[in-house]
Amino acid sequence: MWLVGGSLDDVIKEVSRALGDKDFQEGLMKSGLNNQRKVAEILSSHPEILEAAKRVTEVKRESVRRLGELVERAVESLRRVGANPYYAETAEDAREIVGKIVGSGSIVVMSKSMAAEEIGLREHLESMGNEVWETDLGQLLVMLEGVKPMHNVAPAVHMTRERAARIIREKLGIEVDERDVEGMVAAVREFLREKFFKARVGITGANSMSADTGTIVLVENEGNIRLVSSLPPVHVALVPIDKIVPSVWDAVNVALVQAAFAGFWMPVYISLITGPSATGDIEQIKVLGAHGPREVHVVLLDNGRMKAASHPF
């Protein structure tokens, strides 16, 4: 729902509102059926994905059992590759860490991150005087409407094209035709392009992370994550500790299986980020900050995960 936390009465009110919203119901039904068909087609055409999913399940179970060890290894690996690791025990800790990195008065671009939603990161950075933009199209739409994402992969899964067009017209002041979805996407792309180039900080999440190499794996179709993680001079990755797995091979497999079961096969972009950008082209002397970020900060978010991992499952 559009609610994080709150009382049972609040939840009941939100459920009642959703049940009475015909536009909401229509958008959810269309998107849900389309996604079901896509996943079914992917799995029937690529049965090897089901075998990969079994291996990923084993890796994730083992990673939960070894979570403390993997976090320590990840921190060591991040330092080794020139990134700046942080451990955030609580949501408040994570907000404080990222807030100190970002400061105030900056343009910040964000890729879709449920961890950022979990800790209220965008709202926190805005309260510090920053201009913050979601860059995933669905996440931008729910941000502009002032609601919470409906789904962790498709945040605007409940929106019809008519509703999306109305939001773009009213919130961005861009005239779009609700019958032309391609035109709506093009209009938002043009609007965000300026934000990408002016941003001082880019914030991403992570689909998975390798403890052995400190590599962050990011999967997407839109291309916004690559821009968020490569154009601004500072890249901040907010990584829940349950995303950490032993090896880079494990991390890639986890991300690919996630993509398949979300209805995206093959994903258009798979990014592996291991520290800040660098060049060694002049006398083989390594210099940080070539065409990508000079700084990479990785905030490992606990927020109850380590405690949960200690419970049997």
pLDDT tens for residues 192-211? Answer: 999 999 999 999 999 999 99
293 three-state secondary structure: coil
Helical (H) or strand (E) element with 249:
helix 248-261
* Residue 191: CB atoms within 10 Å: 15
- State the pLDDT at residue 196: 98
* Residue 8: CB atoms within 10 Å: 7
Evaluated on CA atoms 264, 266, 267, 271, the torsion sign reads: positive
C-alpha 248: how far from its chain's center?
19
CA angle 280, 291, 284 (to 5 degrees): 5
- State the pLDDT at residue 1: 43
Question: Any idea where the domains of the chain sit in the sequence?
Answer: 47-145+197-309
Alpha helices in 146-209 (DSSP H): 161-172, 181-198
Rounded distance, CA 161 to CA 72, Å?
Answer: 46
- State the pLDDT at residue 213: 98
Identity of the amino acid at 67: L
Which has the closest alpha carbon to 87: 77, 99, 74, 100? Answer: 74
Backbone dihedral angles phi then psi of residue 149, each to the nearest 5 degrees: -60, 145
Rounded distance, CA 96 to CA 83, Å?
Answer: 19
- State the pLDDT at residue 50: 94
Rounded distance, CA 162 to CA 22, Å?
Answer: 13
* Residues ≥6 apart with Cβ < 8 Å to 139: 110, 112, 149, 155, 156
Rounded distance, CA 60 to CA 67, Å?
Answer: 10
Asked if residue 228 lies in contact with residue 196, where contact means CB atoms within 8 angstroms, the answer is yes
* Residue 199: CB atoms within 10 Å: 25
Rounded distance, CA 180 to CA 209, Å?
Answer: 38
The tokens describing 227, both together, are: 């821009």
Identity of the amino acid at 288: L
- Domain 47-145+197-309, CATH homologous superfamily name and number: NagB/RpiA/CoA transferase-like (3.40.50.10420)
Q: Extract the runs of DSSP E, i.e. beta strands, from the chain.
A: 84-88, 107-110, 131-134, 201-204, 208-210, 216-220, 234-240, 244-245, 269-273, 278-279, 287-288, 295-301
The tokens describing 110, both together, are: 């964000």
CA angle 227, 78, 94 (to 5 degrees): 70
Going from the first residue of the chain to its last (313 residues), give the mean pLDDT of each consecutive group of 10, the final group possibly shorter.
60 76 70 78 92 96 97 99 98 99 98 95 98 96 86 74 94 94 96 97 98 98 97 98 98 96 91 96 91 97 96 70
- State the pLDDT at residue 23: 67
- State the pLDDT at residue 118: 95
Rounded distance, CA 140 to CA 155, Å?
Answer: 9
- Rg of the chain, C-alpha, whole Å: 20
This prediction has a pTM of 0.88
